[in-house]
Amino acid sequence: MADKLIRATAADGGIRAVGVITTRLTEEARVRHKLSYVATAALGRTMSAGLLMASSMKRPGSRVNVRVRGDGPLGGILVDAGLDGTVRGYVGNPSVELPPNAKGKLDVGGAVGSGYLYVVRDIGYGYPYSSTVELVSGEIGDDVAHYLVNSEQTPSALVVGVFVGAEGVTAAGGILIQVLPKAARDEALVTTLESRVSALSGFTPLMQAGKTLTEIFHDLLGDMDLKIFPESQMLRFHCGCSFDRVLGALKMLGAAELQDMILKDDGAEATCDFCGNVYQANGDNLAQLIVDLQRETSVSE
Ligand SMILES: [Zn+2]
């Protein structure tokens, strides 16, 4: 099944529901970053959560950055997700592996540790909106839901999951259900939703049982005037890095540093943190940057 996002409403527009399938893009991240099992689960859950959060933004080009900073051996997670369905991300220590937790699941909470969740929403102009909450469990789903409830004051239930085995990622995705302001005072509604979502045994067991996002929405909200939007949105792992951007970053180092790189290595190698792409600049590329810098200096004088 291709990676995709679908949207729905229920309770006369008082409930907003979004679901994502992210199996392929999580597998791509696993391969690109050579992620361990637990690192795959941690990054995959965070990428699904980022895409779910970005889906509520309105202005084209809007993006959300989710940064998880915990004291565990994973060394942090950074995800950048867009309303356009693109996502990228990485973890501090991709090779960390831990024994399963008490439930027999990948110990994402143990890998993340305790710390903070930072969210930045950027709508493409003005100051980005940013906020921070303390991590609840480090399991990502709970932490992002806690953020949405406490920092954005939207009653929210969020479930994200990744199943990774010897053959790679075979199931990944999540759902976000939010009670909008027009219905947020309806405490019975909020309680009903919370109990239904918390009764789910996770997201990947539903996928593995062959459930589609549409069927999951019907199970959760089918008796609440559910309306599923007919068009789905494609999702993909995508990074905007390029050789030109790498050259731009190298240029910032200044002529003396560049000259040093030419003498020592006759070039420079740069790896993009977000996607793992490796860029090689040779001595001629660096020499050209020095020429450009000198030209800019003489123009400004
Ligand atoms: Zn990149």
Tokens found for residue 113: 């540790």
Residues forming beta bridges with residue 63, ordered by sequence position = 82, 122
For ligand 1, the distance from its centroid to the CA atom of residue 22, given in whole angstroms, is 19
Q: How far is Cα 227 from Cα 138, in angstroms, rounded to an integer?
A: 33
pLDDT < 70 positions in the chain: 300-301
For ligand 1, the distance from its centroid to the CA atom of residue 124, given in whole angstroms, is 20
For ligand 1, the distance from its centroid to the CA atom of residue 269, given in whole angstroms, is 14
For ligand 1, the distance from its centroid to the CA atom of residue 197, given in whole angstroms, is 35
For ligand 1, the distance from its centroid to the CA atom of residue 268, given in whole angstroms, is 17
Predicted local confidence at residue 236, as pLDDT: 98
Predicted local confidence at residue 181, as pLDDT: 84
Angle at 16 between CA 141 and CA 87, to 5 degrees: 50
Whole-model pTM: value is 0.93
Q: Which domains does the chain have, with CATH numbers?
A: 2-235 (3.55.30.10), 241-298 (3.90.1280.10)
Predicted local confidence at residue 301, as pLDDT: 60
For ligand 1, the distance from its centroid to the CA atom of residue 182, given in whole angstroms, is 41
84-125 tens-digit pLDDT: 999 999 999 999 999 999 988 999 999 999 999 999 999 888
For ligand 1, the distance from its centroid to the CA atom of residue 249, given in whole angstroms, is 13
Residues near 102 by Cβ (< 8 Å), separated by ≥ 6?
none
Residues, the chain = 301
For ligand 1, the distance from its centroid to the CA atom of residue 99, given in whole angstroms, is 31
For ligand 1, the distance from its centroid to the CA atom of residue 83, given in whole angstroms, is 18
End-to-end CA distance of the chain: 59
